Chains A and B, each alone.
Chain A
């Protein structure tokens, strides 16, 4: 699909590389490139960047994970390494995102276990990896140090930096050569401010993915859409502090009432629909990485995005 538009964009989205192959000092089977767009996704005639990257999310502590996503993979969810292996073989996402949900338990202190989990997941899959660490300033320093070190050389995408607590994530990225996810609460100004803070601490632009935070459909998604669109147009108009690829994750989609209360066969159908119909417009609004938790959403969102993606000569890989 291509809609002919006349636009005088002056900016271009920067490129971000995730994953490092053996020749680059890592152990991944491939690298992923995102960004590079010169126009809005799905419309316009300017050469687009790279195709959407579809990420599949797993957790190290499945008790803190939506039941519908857990049940869809059966026993595999009980062990993060097995889950990652299963994901690569059966679900075939472009990127695996590991959430260290264990760190979200009260009184968490076993940072050595995080290290082990990260190492095992990296061994279990050769796909590029993104890892979400803790979200508690009291343990961030240690958790991110461990994750960063365990994944040294793999050029992972490390999340999540926020305005109030970005130093540990940034430090781990700088010390061990990773990229980071910079999240702001559905606010273009805070997104920009965080990027400036990250720049000041020494994170290069080409190692940041913006996460504008994505609300669930019917639960504020339209705000996310609008902010993503504005971040994208600001970037295309030349605002370099916002010209990074965006990641959108359907984090809230599986916890809403409609999904929680669905029963039987409906449960999967509704979960997939809610993820798919949030992530597709998120892609249109500018997301380069779309991230889901239900395995059945992965092929659907990929097909949907590629039907909108206009490959240009010499374009995506």
Chain B
């Protein structure tokens, strides 16, 4: 219907892809039936590679060609390949610079560069561009983005007329003078799949999945293709190759683009990403700096930490709204800021990516903490709207700006999540009014996220998640994360574990089938035991999720708190990392940590997160929170309100005051006396040992 319609802008006729495909397929079939003589490619062990890969049959003549064509479901690529080989047998190779069929030996080195990563993907450019200069720009962009590009048809002449050199050494390979030579693009792909992908000839399913999942290829088509050629290139889509056209075609599933967007669109559609390698900021950036802190006297400026409003948030946005690498600062920059002052800050990270989901936001957002700390002169603690960020005097004297935090974040997110993120932009706000406005919106998002995990019970799910991130230093430690028991470091909830698994299926968070219940009180499950045994390399046979006395979970060293049984008072104390003093157990936090860490299972002791104290599963097997006899005041203050609410919900309001701290008791004797004086319920409970 649209055939021959004029594109008024360019004044060329538009081809309807669907119609051309039908006509082209029929024409290919007719010509295949009319073939004569025998034909084959030289210098290859793969016969006619596309046909061989799809059907497993070596083809040498018309009858074999027809048999293969029919076996491959009348695939136009098979017809095109047989015809191309037939023509080469009759009229020989095209003269230089055209390569025609590329021998295996050359292909091996091309395939090498693909696996090696020195080229990122393969591109085919076919047809005849209206404007050679624009086409030259497009090919230059492909070269710059490490795409190995194959050329078919008039494009080769166009490039030469624009002064562009073509040849394998320039990563612009001229296949043939006619667009039908594009079939060699597929015989290359098929051979790469057989040489490098372990695809056996004849296993069409494996070939297609290899092409779709591993081969990063795109096709860009200019006008000038006949119906057969349209049919050939349209079939590329079966192999997962997006067909992009800067004009001349319409309809079908070809993607129309402006010529300037062709390469970017193709690479995005195929998920080909150019890696970020260096971060252009005037300070060093490495995980090596993560542990350093910036003290008050070393600091040039600080943000948040109770001294000024500050927050951070990461949101996913549609691709069109995120400009890769864009960093803006709204409000005063470093020059406008007096040394030693506290300035408001909003860190808004916006990301886009076809695989990116809203649920991933909190997991990625937590990485802001690591990334800012990677900077030699930047420091970051806490999260959400309680962040505290500092830039050092040293860094500022070397020219570091607030903007550089944004550059660092944008680059690191792209480096660490290359498969997930296509684009990252960062906005840093230092203007107080704007920060407060943006914070209000962010708080609504935090709330919405919290609602998702709150109220989830272990009984609601069949799958828990593991965390073995710490096996680098505690080789047999396995954390099991449930909706009601966050990781002992407090950093990973069940939802985070689930998402981390989606993002990195081979990563440190794996799904754990609960399996059959062994003991309800202790929270022991067959599936969990099975997983823990394997993941602990056979060291740990049983793991109770809700008990500290029998088969407690192992500890790495990252626990926020340690829960310790105190037999003298028939209860448990919990000490948090921040508390440096002595405890009624006779040991400080650090001594206790040294005793229980490293991946061991230590009955009577457990590393836990702060949040777990407020869980209904806390000490479930030992009688619940009524066993809690002592926590340091710093922790009591921190979780105070939530602890009161939690106790109230259990009708244990009076317990709050009965829980001792270092102000009421430092020794076990003093604790015994205090607990007796307040009539702590633990004293009357079943003896722990």
Contact = CB atoms under 8 A, between A and B. Distances in A.
Contacts of A168: 116-118
B640 interface: no
B537 A175 contact: no
A67 to B, nearest CB: 35
A188 B473 CA distance: 10
A307 interface: no
Interface string A169-212: 01110111000000000011110000010001110100000000
Contacts of A239: 537
Given A234-B537, A237-B538, A141 B116 contact: yes
A42 to B, nearest CB: 21
B113 interface: yes
B196 to A, nearest CB: 5
Interface hub of B112, B475, B534 (most chain A Cβ within 10 A): B112
A144 B117 CA distance: 13
A148 interface: yes
Contacts of B112: 145, 148, 171-172, 174-175
B415 to A, nearest CB: 13
B341 to A, nearest CB: 41
Interface in B109-125: 109, 111-118
A187 to B, nearest CB: 7
Contacts of A167: 115-117
A230 interface: yes
A144 B197 CA distance: 19
Given A141-B118, A145-B112, A175-B111, A238 B534 contact: yes
A174 B115 CA distance: 9
Interface string A227-263: 0001001100111000000000000000000000000
A149 interface: yes
Contacts of A175: 108-109, 111-112, 115, 195-196
Nearest to B468: A189
A149 B115 contact: no
B689 interface: no
Contacts of B506: 196, 200
Nearest to A173: B115
Interface in B281-322: none
B200 interface: no
Nearest to A145: B112
Contacts of A196: 506
B475 A170 contact: no
Interface in B529-543: 534, 537-538
Contacts of A148: 112
Given A141-B113, A196-B506, A176 B538 contact: no
B475 A188 contact: yes
Nearest to B214: A202
Given A148-B112, A167-B117, A189 B471 contact: yes
Contacts of A187: 472
B198 interface: yes
B582 to A, nearest CB: 35
Contact of B196 (A149, A202, A230, A234): A202
B537 A189 contact: no
Contacts of B108: 149, 175-176
Contacts of B117: 167-168
Contact of B195 (A145, A174, A237): A174
Interface string B496-516: 000000000010000000000
Nearest to A8: B538
Contact of A189 (B114, B195, B472, B534): B472
A236 to B, nearest CB: 10
Contact of A170 (B115, B197, B198): B115
A69 to B, nearest CB: 32
Interface string A252-292: 00000000000000000000000000000000000000000
B398 to A, nearest CB: 27
Contacts of B196: 174-175, 202
A234 B538 CA distance: 9
A200 B507 CA distance: 13
B115 A171 contact: yes
B168 to A, nearest CB: 14
Given A174-B196, A234-B537, A237-B538, A202 B115 contact: yes
A193 B673 CA distance: 54
Interface string B97-140: 00000000000110111111110000000000000000000000
Given A167-B116, A171-B116, A174-B196, A189 B111 contact: no
A187 B472 CA distance: 8
Interface hub of B108, B114, B471 (most chain A Cβ within 10 A): B108
B198 A202 contact: yes
A145 B472 contact: no
Contacts of B118: 141, 168
B503 to A, nearest CB: 15
A28 B198 CA distance: 25
Interface string B525-564: 0000000001001100000000000000000000000000
Contacts of A204: 198
Contacts of B198: 202, 204
A180 B195 CA distance: 17
A188 B113 CA distance: 30
B188 to A, nearest CB: 14
A167 to B, nearest CB: 5
A237 to B, nearest CB: 5
Nearest to A233: B537
Contacts of B113: 141, 171
Nearest to A140: B116
Contacts of B538: 237
A175 B537 CA distance: 35
Nearest to B506: A196
Interface string B464-503: 0000000110010000000000000000000000000000
Nearest to A199: B506
Contacts of B471: 189
Nearest to B537: A234
Contacts of A230: 475, 537
Nearest to B117: A167
A202 B210 CA distance: 11
Contacts of A237: 537-538
Nearest to A144: B116
Interface in B241-265: none
Contacts of A189: 471-472, 475
Contacts of B114: 171
A141 B117 CA distance: 9
A62 to B, nearest CB: 29
Interface in B335-377: none
B641 to A, nearest CB: 40
Contacts of A141: 113, 116, 118
10 contacts: A141-B113, A168-B116, A171-B115, A171-B116, A175-B195, A175-B196, A188-B475, A196-B506, A202-B198, A237-B537
Given A141-B113, A149-B109, A190-B472, 16 more contacts: A141-B116, A170-B116, A171-B112, A171-B116, A172-B112, A174-B111, A174-B112, A174-B196, A175-B112, A175-B115, A175-B195, A176-B108, A200-B506, A201-B115, A202-B198, A234-B537
Chain A to chain B: the 4 pairs with minimum beta-carbon distance, closest first: A171-B115, A171-B116, A175-B112, A167-B117
Interface of A: 141, 144-145, 148-149, 167-168, 170-172, 174-176, 187-190, 196, 200-202, 204, 230, 233-234, 237-239
